[in-house]
Chain A
Amino acid sequence: MNAVLAQADLRDQLVSWEWISRRYDQIWDAAVSHLWLTVFAVVVGFVISVPLAAVALRWRRTYAPIAWVTGFLYTIPSLALFAFLVPILGLGFATAQVALVSYTLLILIRNIVAGVDGVPASVKEAADGMGYSPLRRFVEVDLRLATPTIIAGVRIAAVTIVGLVTITSLVGEGGFGVFILDGLRRSFPTPVVLGVVLSVILAVAIDVALVLVERLLTPWARREVRR
């Protein structure tokens, strides 16, 4: 009787610290899994986006179809995408990543293209005139100078993915989303609040980390202009 009452009491509280304190290991595992799902999706998305952006920049006519296809992927509701993918890839990491990666592409490609377009034409012409090969110029000059815009895209993509990972818990890979799903199923607020708060903290932490990465990668932008 006491145990049942305690259980009911626990359910009525918004956050039960006792419930949380018994699950530190589980929370740590969820954090690692959430971070891993996010980083994997953004890195794979970036690796796919760079060559696609390069193609779009080199052959301008391909930009519209590339933007159209990735834009289409971006607009598919995630639940609908899972319904489509689960019969093919089953429940698990692959399905989750296909969905997550496809959401990063539009953001990343757009920012890479915009960033490279923003590199002054005179700098590109000088690089060509000095004898850079096209590939070397793209990597060492174009992408390098587009870093601020590209990182801005990575930040948006990463924060978006942190949010989406909570939904991939539906296919069994959810990081903090597992808590949210669990809490919703049992009408038990503590895991829901926990999942939401930790997701937000992770998103902010990744965003701050990327700002620091940008500062490290663009030492020239920090120097004060002295004339």
Chain B
Amino acid sequence: MTDPTVAAGDRSSAIRLVGVEKRFPRAPAPAVDDLNLDIAEGKLVVFVGPSGCGKTTTLKMINRLIEPTAGEIHVLGREIRSIKTSELRRQIGYVIQQIGLFPHKTIADNIATVPKLLRWDKRRIADRVNELVELVGLDPSMLRRYPAELSGGQQQRVGVARALAADPPILLMDEPYSAVDPIVRAHLQDELLALQHRVRKTIVLVTHDIDEAIKLGEEVVIFATGGVVAQHGPPAELLANPASPFVESFLGEERGLKRLSLLRVSDLDLQPGLVVDADADPSTAVQVMKSHGSDWIGVVEGDRLLGWTWLRSLEGCTRVGDAPLDYFRAQVAPDTPLRKVLDGIVNSHTRVAVVVDATDRYLGMITIDHLAEGIR
């Protein structure tokens, strides 16, 4: 496990790069130039940028697969050149695009790689392997198989389990999902987020896919060609205030939609919306509708939302609740991403989404205007 002498020191930043430069022999320009970066402990940070921007080079300098030509890199408070390379790497989980499982070892032995290098005893290794198989969602029957017998998605899960085996405080992931198909990729991304929720590692993930960066990153570092940081911050902030035309173009089209996908219903200031009580007099309801220029109204009873009704349906009713009610198509929860709310709104008759919690309590109503205000 973690060497206490390494874990000591500066706790606030798990990884710190100071003036790091990498020039490859015979290359006209540096791949990474005077890079300064602080990566906070327990954060999932994504390096993203066009090819040749130095993001992978930077990642590989952290575990010394590539040696910088200038500058300092501190991992958990220690300059990495003061640690024996193999010791450093055993404290940093590493996942690569091609996965690189050992074809000659069973899945169990692949996962046990680093614990074996660290000379854990057999009992402890076996327990840890079983724990990891559960953590990454693999079937325990696979443990005795060889990597060639597994699908790409399963192999990638094994790759993550292997990287986490010795419980390293830091995890480096180099384009981990670019070799799997889009459906499996989305699954694996969700799994990573759930996993990170449980294990809280410092994760640095490299990708060229800005949507993956926005989805996964608590912080996103956008690299520009030549290994310089174009912008560094939480994805919502980048989308709201791109620092340069380069960042703006790299973030791509539909920045508003991308921001909506980052925010959730609970981030909005919810309004009760266009509703009346089921016991109200129809004339009251008509008045409310008229004042809002609407031809429909929602009907509530206590804290339950019963549905909605047309203005014309209220004719001849003694109370609003007697009118024939329709249900709201777009029903969302407090943790629904706003992008999904927007989708619901444009697909509904009433042009609103209604928010109810897990116990069916009515919380409010969202219109397009609310969404636009919410991301402002």
> B-contacting residues of A (Cβ < 8 Å)?
120, 122-133, 141, 144-145, 218, 220, 223-227
Contacts and interface: CB of A to CB of B under 8 A. Distances in A.
Contact of B103 (A131, A220, A224, A226): A220
Contacts of B105: 220
Contact of A227 (B63, B92, B151, B172): B151
- B86, B99, B162 — most chain A CB neighbours (10 Å): B86
Given A125-B65, A223-B145, A223-B149, A131 B90 contact: yes
B261 interface: no
- A127, A129, A132 — most chain B CB neighbours (10 Å): A129
A129 B89 contact: yes
Contacts of B88: 131
A123 B159 CA distance: 11
A140 B63 CA distance: 21
Given A122-B96, A123-B102, A220-B148, 11 more contacts: A122-B98, A126-B99, A127-B100, A128-B65, A129-B63, A129-B92, A130-B89, A131-B90, A223-B145, A223-B148, A227-B149
B87 interface: yes
Interface of B: 63, 65, 85-90, 92, 94, 96-105, 113-114, 117, 145-146, 148-151, 159, 162, 172
Nearest to A141: B102
A141 to B, nearest CB: 7
Contacts of B150: 227
17 contacts: A120-B98, A122-B96, A122-B100, A123-B101, A124-B100, A126-B99, A126-B102, A130-B94, A131-B88, A131-B90, A131-B117, A132-B117, A133-B86, A145-B104, A220-B103, A220-B105, A226-B149
B151 A132 contact: no
A125 B97 CA distance: 11
A220 B104 contact: yes
A41 to B, nearest CB: 28
Contacts of A123: 100-103
Nearest to A224: B149
A136 to B, nearest CB: 8
Given A220-B146, A220-B148, A126 B86 contact: no
Nearest to B97: A122
B227 to A, nearest CB: 20
Contacts of B94: 126, 129-130
Given A141-B102, A145-B104, A130 B96 contact: no
A144 to B, nearest CB: 5
A125 B96 contact: yes
Given A122-B99, A223-B145, A130 B104 contact: no
Contacts of A127: 100, 102
B356 to A, nearest CB: 43
A126 B101 contact: yes
A145 B150 CA distance: 19
A144 B103 CA distance: 10
Contact of B89 (A131, A218, A225): A131
B114 A130 contact: yes
Contacts of A126: 94, 96, 99-102, 159
B87 A145 contact: no
A131 B92 CA distance: 9
A132 B162 CA distance: 14
Contacts of A141: 102
B66 to A, nearest CB: 11
5 smallest CB-CB distances across A and B, nearest first, come from: A126-B100, A129-B94, A122-B98, A131-B89, A122-B100
A220 B86 CA distance: 27
Contacts of A130: 89-90, 94, 113-114, 117, 162
Contacts of B103: 120, 123, 145, 220
Nearest to A222: B146
Nearest to A123: B100
Contacts of A220: 103-105, 146, 148
A36 B95 CA distance: 48
A220 B146 CA distance: 6
A227 B148 CA distance: 8
Contacts of A223: 145-146, 148-149
A128 B63 CA distance: 10
A225 B149 contact: yes
Given A220-B104, A225-B149, A131 B114 contact: yes
Contacts of A145: 102-104
A101 to B, nearest CB: 29
Contacts of B151: 227
Nearest to A126: B100
A56 B108 CA distance: 33
B100 A125 contact: yes
A218 B104 contact: yes
Nearest to A145: B104
A129 B65 contact: yes
